[in-house]
Structure 1
Amino acid sequence: MPIITGNYIPPGIFKNSDASTIFAATLRKVEMPVYERERIELSDGDFIDLDWSNASSETDKLVILLHGLAGNTSRPYMRGMARTFNHQNWDAAAMNFRGCSEELNRFFRSYHAGASDDLAEVITHILSLKKYSKIALVGFSLGANMLMKYMGENRSLPKEIIGGVGVSVPFDLAGSLGAINRMRNFVYAKRFELNLKKHLYARAEKFPEYIQKNNISACSSLRDIDDLYTSKAHGYKDASDYYKKTSALGFLKGIKKPVLILNAKNDSFLSPQCYPYEIAENSEYIHLEVPSYGGHVGFVTKSNNFYHEKRAIEFIESL
């Protein structure tokens, strides 16, 4: 498909990538009804918590939302997207990845950027409700990588899935890690590191036979954490093996349903490989939009309905 330049121009200071990224992630307030939580029992004996936000009237349309690294369904970007779809008569099911709701999951493993089998199980459960004839997927950052991997894998997608939207997609995980580790992103990288360490300390208390607190404390980067935990806990040899096998870039050519990719040019978390121009130009299903501004999931507007929310509902309803 032709590359979409978009017409997004943020107000004032939000042309700065850090201002838009930080405001959207930490300062934005999104008012909406309280989620209704449902616990899904997975086939391997673990669980995932889904948080539901329903439209004001009965509908057969549903959007499934996938959060980013160290995130959950309470993040402003998740709530904002749920609200946008609810207002257009779509129910929303916001997925907390394993270990990301208030309760630690049952197993040593948790979630990662390529855990598309968990998404598949959630979709199977939702289809068993026999309520929805149209299902859309919207993912953010790590969750967007998972979404694109799921849609491009050699699997038969349910006919109810009409398409997906990925916002700030780190298609090349190793390259994105390199971008985050640049000195300009030190504060972001350190914040991710501390959040993940906090999660791992709790996991070490529950699973001392698998991981020890002193090894967690010795980690000084996100890659160290991926070498110590993320890769090993999920069946990969090391961080490099994990990045190689789960990066969605390797699955894009397999996508056979419409997707919109919204990656800002000034997103300091993304490497050049995260803008798959050539693949998009040669695909009838991939719509790549690269606005000049937006930072990382920071498409701020003068209203509290952000640009990526407007584009997501426009794209999905056009299918």
Structure 2
Amino acid sequence: MPVIESTYNPSFLFKNGFISTVYSGLFRQVSLKQERERLTLPDGDFLDLDWSFSKEQSNQVIILLHGLEGHGQRPYVTGAAKLFNDNGVDAVCVNFRGCSGADNLKYRSYHSGATDDLEAVITHVLSLKKYHSIYLKGISLGANIILKYLGERSDVPEEVKAAVSVSVPCYLQGSAEELHTLKNRLYHDRFKKHLVNRLKIKQKQFQDQLSIEAIKSIKTLTDFDDVYTSKAHGFKDASDYYTKSSSLQFLNTINTPTLIINALNDSFLSPECYPVKEAQNNPKLYLEMPKYGGHSGFIDKNNNYYNEKRALEFIKSMLSNK
């Protein structure tokens, strides 16, 4: 589909990508009642799912995926859940392996291309025999997982009606390079610190697979992906992981109505992460590139973010067109 012209125009302060990104990550608050369910995965590990519900009994549900080192209570996830709940749609916020506050059981955890766990969640939701319509929405890493899931297979359940991916690093190599630049040093170091701290905990449980010396060698996020992400998930190295897990290569085969929202001032994204050609060549793929928004910082009125309102609008429009 042609590229969608965006109407997002925040106040002057939040036209700054850094300010909107940091404000959204550190200061936004959302009040939402959630109920936790533990889902056992096919390999014996688990995911914790945080459910919230609309006031009326609903046969619609949205599955929400967080970003790197996020979880199911982050405001960029619960904000969407609350908005959809208020509009008659149940929501399940997925905590990736090890992200719910409880360490996962396996040496592997989660990564940008781990679509098997999303498939397990969708299978579980379908097994409830309650929902006729399933929607998907992801932020950053979670957004890449959704796009890859939709494009890599021909057997997407018919109940999956629409998807929205926001601030998506669909070309992982380019985004990794951007995160290592000086302008993103603050983000890079924060991510690396959290990841390495969690890896130290995992090393105590899996000493035969990971040494303290290997952890000490991690100086960058790419080092982390070389030392842990790639090895724990069946890739040769970080480059192989980025190549095989990037969703960009799967966009042409997506057959589910899907909206991508990537801000032009998102400092995490490389030029390849704005897939204009792919959107123009796939009638199911819609691309919106707001001038502002930073990385998942689409601040708007009444604590409802622009990307969340657009997700609701898009999904409603896709359903009405059928």
Counterpart secondary structure, 1:303: helix
Match in the other structure for 1:182:
181
Alpha-carbon separation, structure 1, partners of 2:187 and 2:61: 33
Secondary structure of the 2:163 match is strand
Which stretch of the first structure deviates more once superposed, 41-50 or 267-276?
A: 41-50
Q: For residue 88 of structure 2, what is the aligned residue in structure 1?
A: 89
**Which residue matches 2:165?**
166
SS at match of 1:184: helix
Q: Is the 8 A contact 2:252 2:281 kept in 1?
A: no
Distance 2:56 2:301 in 1: 29
Shift of 1:5: 2.0
Q: CA deviation at 1:38?
A: 0.6
* Structure 2 residue aligned with 1:317: 316
RMSD (Å) for aligned C-alpha atoms: 0.8
- Counterpart Cα distance in 1 of 2:4 and 2:103: 41
Could you tell me how far 1:218 is from its partner in structure 2? Answer: 2.2
Q: Which residue of 2 aligns with 1:299?
A: 298
* TM-score (normalised: structure 2): 0.97
User: Which runs of 5 or more structure 2 residues have no equivalent in the other structure?
Assistant: none
1:290 aligns with 2:304: no
| Corresponding residue SS for 2:69 | coil
Corresponding residue number in structure 1 for 2:16: 16
- State the one-letter code of the partner of 2:109: S
Determine the structure 1 residue equivalent to 2:3: 3
Partners of 1:15 and 1:42 in 2: CA distance: 42
Which runs of 5 or more structure 1 residues have no equivalent in the other structure? Answer: none
Task: Determine if contact 1:135/1:162 at 8 Å carries over to the other structure.
Answer: yes
- Alpha carbons 2:3, 2:279 under 8 Å: kept: yes
Shift of 1:31: 1.4
CA deviations over 1:81-126 (Å, ceiling 9, x no partner):
1011101010001111111111111100000000001100111111
8 Å CA contact 1:262–1:290 kept in 2: the answer is yes
Residues in 2 aligned to 1:122 and 1:305: alpha-carbon distance in whole angstroms? 26
In structure 2, the residue matched to 1:154 is 153
Hey, what's the Cα distance between the residues in 2 that align with 1:181 and 1:149?
24
C-alpha distance in structure 1 between counterparts of 2:225 and 2:150, whole Å: 24
Q: Aligned letter for 1:21?
A: T
User: What does 1:40-189 align with in structure 2 at a 5 Å threshold?
Assistant: 40-189=39-188
Query: d(CA) in 1 for partners of 2:154 and 2:148?
Result: 11
Q: Distance in 2 between the 1:152 and 1:286 partners?
A: 11
Whole-Å separation in 2 of the counterparts to 1:169 and 1:130: 31
Distance 2:197 2:30 in 1: 26
The answer as to 2:269 corresponding to 1:270 is yes
Q: CA deviation at 1:292?
A: 0.3
Distance in 1, matches of 2:235 and 2:14, equals 39
Q: Which runs of 4+ in 1 moved over 4 A?
A: none
- In structure 2, the partner of 1:28 is 28
Q: 1:266-309, CA deviations, whole angstroms, 9 ceiling, x for partnerless residues? A: 00000000000011011100000001000000001132011011
Alignment match, 2:194: 195
Q: Is the 8 A contact 1:51 1:93 kept in 2?
A: yes
Aligned to 2:135, what secondary structure does the other structure show? strand
**Alignment partner, residue 245 of structure 2:** 246
Are 1:11 and 1:302, in contact at CA under 8 Å, matched by a contact in 2?
A: no
Cα distance in 1 between the residues matched to 2:37 and 2:58: 19
Give, as a single letter, the amino acid of the residue that structure 2 aligns with 1:220: K
Q: Which residue of 2 aligns with 1:281?
A: 280
Counterpart contact for 1:6–1:290, Cα < 8 Å: yes
Q: In the alignment, residue 44 of structure 1 is paired with which amino acid?
A: D
Deviations 1:220-277 (CA, angstroms, capped at 9, x unpaired):
1100000000000000000000000000001111100100000000000000000000
State the shift of 1:214 in Å: 3.1
* Alpha-carbon contact 1:197-1:217 (below 8 Å) kept: no
Letter in 2 for 1:288: L
Distance in 2 separating the partners of 1:209 and 1:37 = 33
Aligned mates of 1:56, 1:159 — CA distance in 2 = 26
Question: Hey, what's the Cα distance between the residues in 2 that align with 1:142 and 1:202?
Answer: 22
For residues 36-91 of structure 1, give each alpha carbon's deviation from its aligned partner in whole angstroms, at most 9, with x where no partner exists. Answer: 11111111111111110111110000000000001111111011010111010100
Secondary structure in structure 1 of the residue aligned to 2:249: helix
